[in-house]
Amino acid sequence: MPRPVIEVARLRKLYGSTVAVDDVSFEVFEGEIFGLIGPNGAGKTTTMECVEGVRKADAGRTTVLGLDPARQANALQQRIGVQLQQAQLQKRIRVWEAVDLWASLYPRTIDGRTLLEQLGLTEKRNASFMSLSGGQKQRLFIALALINDPEVVFLDELTTGLDPQARRAIWDLVNGIRSRGKTVFLTTHLMEEAERLCDRVAIIEHGRLIEMGAPADLVRQHCPERGVVFSSDRADLAGELERIAGAGSVRVEGTTYTVQGRGDDFVTAVIRFIAAQALTVRDFRTVFPTLEDVFLKLTGHAIRD
């Protein structure tokens, strides 16, 4: 059993009389990528910043690497790496200067040149911060978060505002961080990102944690339905498809069938049926629910609303 590196118990944070985070508890284990997911304004960033020691919680007990972020912030900063949401650097600071400054702040650091090379920023060493693209800025922030060879890395909405290509590149980098044995704690409102990256996620809404687990487990638990879509040359299969074990609804559009069903054997059952009927199939795909559907099911609204 891996040991927990972050333990949050009954965290609560108010802004004036508004409750931003309410009674949130979770653990993050060594070596995993843990994601706090939910819509904008759900309390993800506030929660993360309380854990980082950037913000003080109003109630609850939090330990990170055995330290209290509120009272031992400085000791904690040495051992964690942080990327903040929507943070900027000085407009005219150069890439190497930022890395150099950050490197001077920690007693133990890794080589800045190698880091910039790994993050694909070598050519941008002398570029000013304001001349970088969104993806390059985020890569620089990742570099700054990794410069002290931290045990835990915090990434807050890392890919917001990036184009899909830059986003994918960042995902690879985050996976790379984990494969160096580090724990990653991230927030995102992108369910696809959470599904691609996270070993476990906690879904947070209106400051409350409403569900937690591995993405695949959550999908299986809350959205067991899956669909098989195939097209065939026959248009009279609806009745027989409905009799397949686990099958629910069947929708027919011309010769394209969409069969909804549940259970681990459902897809196999459809394949067996096709084989038994010796059907000629021009197209065949399965449709699985995603975290997006889980969120919809749990909250009654889509995450982007």
Partner 1 sequence: MRGLLKLTWLEIRIFMREPLGFVAAIGIPLVMFLALGRSMSPFADRSARTMQFLAQDLPLFVSIFISINAALSLVAVISIYREGGILKRLRATPLRPAVILVAHVLVKLVFTGISLLLVILAGRRFYPIPLHAHLAGFALAVVVTTVTILCMGFVVASMVGTARFAQLIGSVIFYPMLVVSGMFVPLSSMPRPLAVLGSVLPMSHAVALLRGAWDGTGWLVLLPHLGALALTIAICLGLTTRVFRWE
Q: What does the binding site for partner 1 look like in residue numbers (CB under 8 A)?
A: 52, 54, 74, 77-78, 82, 84, 86-93, 97, 100-102, 104-106, 128
| Helix, coil or strand: residue 187 | strand
Is residue 257 within 8 A of residue 201, CB to CB? The reply is no
User: Whose Cβ is closer to partner 1: residue 19's or residue 54's?
Assistant: 54
Cα dihedral sign, 27-86-181-68: negative
Alpha helices in the chain (DSSP H): 44-52, 73-79, 95-105, 112-118, 134-146, 164-179, 191-197, 215-222, 238-242, 266-277, 291-299
CB of 15 to partner 1, least distance (A): 12
User: Whose Cβ is closer to partner 1: residue 9's or residue 101's?
Assistant: 101
CB of 129 to partner 1, least distance (A): 10
Smallest Cα–Cα separation from 181: which of 67, 69, 33?
33
| Helix, coil or strand: residue 165 | helix
User: Whose Cβ is closer to partner 1: residue 57's or residue 201's?
Assistant: 57
Smallest Cα–Cα separation from 258: which of 269, 250, 247?
250
User: Whose Cβ is closer to partner 1: residue 3's or residue 91's?
Assistant: 91
Is residue 76 within 8 A of residue 69, CB to CB? The reply is yes
CB of 86 to partner 1, least distance (A): 6
CB of 254 to partner 1, least distance (A): 54
CB of 34 to partner 1, least distance (A): 19
User: Whose Cβ is closer to partner 1: residue 91's or residue 243's?
Assistant: 91
CB of 265 to partner 1, least distance (A): 50
User: Whose Cβ is closer to partner 1: residue 32's or residue 52's?
Assistant: 52
